Amino acid sequence: MKRSTMGVLAGLSLVAGITGCKPDAAVQKAEILGRGSKDPGSPPVVPQSDQPESRPTPTLDPATLGTVHGVVLFRGKAPAPVRIDTSMDPACEMGGNKGPVNSEQIVVADGKLANVFVYVKSGPPAIASAPRSTQPVVLDQVGCKYVPHVIGVVRGGYVEFHNSDVTMHNIHTMPTVVGNETIDVSQGPKGTPKVKQMQLPEIMMPVRCNNHPWMNAYLNIAPNPFFAVTDATGKFEIKGLPAGDYVLAAVQEKLGEQDLNITVPAQGTAKADFAFGK
C-alpha cells in the first residue's frame, strides 16, 4: 500500500441490522463467544450467565401505539469519498465488490445522511414492556468491508459475526462501557459464524479488523428495542411506540449526537428530522 494511502487510512475512524436465525438455532450452527477476548471454539450452548435478562410480559395495547419517522439531512458541501487501497490482500478483490472500496465516515446522497443511528433515549415507562426480538443481528465481512457499516441490537440481544470472504479476518470490538468486554478473535475464510450476546447499553462501539486496517463498523447496544439506522436516502422509521413524550437521539460517528423532543400520538405518526453539518 502506498504511504499516502496509509496516511488517509490512519485518519479514518470508520453498524439497521440484518437478522439471522433465532439464538437456539444460532447456537447449533455458530460458535458462541464467551466473556472476555478468547474464542472458546466449541461451546454448543449459551452459558446461563449469558441468557437474556428476564423481562416484563409485553402488555402494550396496539390502540395506544404510534410511529416516528424522519430524515437526517447534511448541511453544506459533502466530503468526497476517499478510495481505499485494498491491494495489500488480493483476496479482497474476490469478495464481491462491484466497484472501488470507499471510506464510510460520512456518506451523503442528495443532502441526506446515511448510517446515522437513531434511538429512543427516554420515553414513557411503557417502553419497558415492549417485546424484544430474539433474532441475532448479522454483521458480515464482504469484500474486506463490514456490512452493514452501522448496526443496532437491543441490550441482551445477540450479534452474529460472519465472514463471507475468502481471506482471514479479525473481529475486534472496542467498548468503553465497563461491563462490555472486548471481542478480539480471528475468523477464517468463510468460517463458522460467531455469536456474542451484548450486555450493556453503549452507542457507537467501534469494530475493527486487525488484519485489514481500513475495515471499520459501529455496533450500538440500545437500552430499548426502539431504534433504527438511516438508509442510503437518510430516512428512518421506528414503529410500535407507546403514545407519549420522548427524547429521540441521532448519532453519527464523526458528527456527534443530536437530541430531539417529540410527542408520539396513539395510532398516529410523529415526524422527526435532524440536520448535521461540518
> Residue 278 and residue 248: Cα distance in Å, rounded?
21
- Global pTM? 0.80
Q: What are phi and psi of 275, to 5 degrees?
A: -140, 125
pLDDT at 101: 85
How confident is the model over 17-57, as pLDDT tens digits? Answer: 333 333 444 334 556 555 433 343 333 333 333 444 454 45
Closest Cα to residue 159, out of 254, 33, 44, 258? 33
Q: Are 115 and 252 in contact (CB under 8 A)?
A: yes
Kindly write down the DSSP assignment for every residue of 197-233, as one continuous string: E--S-EEEEEEE-TTSTT-EEEEEEESSS-EEE--TT
Residues above pLDDT 90, as percent of the chain:
66
How confident is the model over 46-75, as pLDDT tens digits? Answer: 333 344 445 445 578 899 999 999 999 999
Poorest-pLDDT segment among 25-39, 80-94, 190-204: 25-39
Domain boundaries of the chain, sorted by first residue? 3-39+66-277
Instruction: Report the topology of domain 3-39+66-277.
Output: Immunoglobulin-like (2.60.40)
